[in-house]
Amino acid sequence: MTDSRSLRSFIPPYILNRIIAHGSERQRSSALSTLSHVRTLRHTPLPPVRSAAATLLPPSAQPGQVRRSIHDAQGKMLLPGMPARLEGQPATGDPAVDEAYDALGASHDFFWKVLGRDSIDNKGFALIGSVHYGQDYENAFWNGAQMVFGDGDGEIFERFTRSLDVIGHELTHGVIESEAGLVYANQSGALNESLSDVFGVLIKQHVLGQSADEADWLIGADLLTPRIKGVGLRSMAHPGTAYDDPLLGKDPQPDHMRKFVITQEDNGGVHINSGIPNRAFYIAAKAFGGFAWEKTGRIWYDTLCDQGLNNEASFSDFAALTIEHARQRFGADEAQVVRHAWSETGVVPTQEQS
């Protein structure tokens, strides 16, 4: 899992491009360097960071035992950086280090305790994170071997470790890569982004003990500074409503297939069109009620792990499998709830297409 094609970044290029076009000189500089760096990473081999950092941690003594190492990149773009906090060590007092440590632990606990999954690869994969990456770096990403978090510019974005669901989102990219290898382009890429949002938000809900009714269903709610007019980067409940700001523009996510965005940007709109499957998940979770990870989350996870899930799956392909897994695990009534959720977003399951 160390191929340059594995790069998955949280802030989409269309937001960085808006900042480059409309921001202050400092904001434009930060966004431009972030965007240029992400593009460079997509086309260059990644360093063998996993082997270097993982050697700092002892092997797992038993299944489900979390192994974390948080590193301080010290404002540079060299990975993994200096070891800052290893598994079992006390808090450091550096908020970014400690937030990353705690969030990786919460993410690991969710996958193990709720879904019975032993880390990213289901084999005890060591969780490695680097903080203080670059100067005013306006992103977080999974590079196929570890998670990386910038500090933001403090004007548009806060430090990226503030958001538990963002850290869960990035870790989930590793799970997807390990299980389904969904190609990061077009509809399969939007499913990749949506699944990362799904499990990122479920991890947050699990930590907070929130039911589907109590949750805010926002992704990145802790990232935007008070000067930005918005509640987060994405809304799973109401895609397209997360922000409407003179600098960032308006949230472009569609909530229905009739609004599907055809674009060459953002790998075919992976961060944009993910709003459609995100809303389907939300509708199903609200219909089931209770804790969203108990039924809807389990169905989506079963689907992710289904060997019949093609790595270039469309929304329709994925929808058909979720309906089948709902039926297999819970029954016909639950399958109907999931079918209805997809129909509300205009997605017709593959086997039901004429």
Show which residues are catalytic. Answer: 170, 271
Reading the block at residue 323, the tokens are 């309906």
78, amino acid identity: L
Q: What's 274's DSSP letter?
A: T
Spatial CA neighbour of 79 closest among 150, 165, 12: 150
CB burial string 106-116: b at 16+ within 10 A, e below: bbbebbbebbe
Q: Collect all residues with Cβ–Cβ distance below 8 Å to 292 and sequence separation of at least 6.
A: 202, 205, 211, 212, 215, 285
Q: What is the widest separation between alpha-carbon atoms in the chain?
A: 59
* DSSP states along 83-122: EEEETTPPP-S-HHHHHHHHHHHHHHHIIIIIH---STTS
Spatial CA neighbour of 119 closest among 138, 149, 146, 92: 146
Q: Collect all residues with Cβ–Cβ distance below 8 Å to 39 and sequence separation of at least 6.
A: none
Q: Does residue 41 contact residue 7 with C-beta atoms inside 8 Å? A: yes
Spatial CA neighbour of 236 closest among 271, 272, 278, 270: 278
Q: Does residue 278 contact residue 198 with C-beta atoms inside 8 Å? A: yes
d(CA 326, CA 324): 5
Whole-angstrom CA distances from 43 to 29, 39, 117, 181, 354 are 22, 7, 31, 19, 41
Q: Collect all residues with Cβ–Cβ distance below 8 Å to 214 and sequence separation of at least 6.
A: none
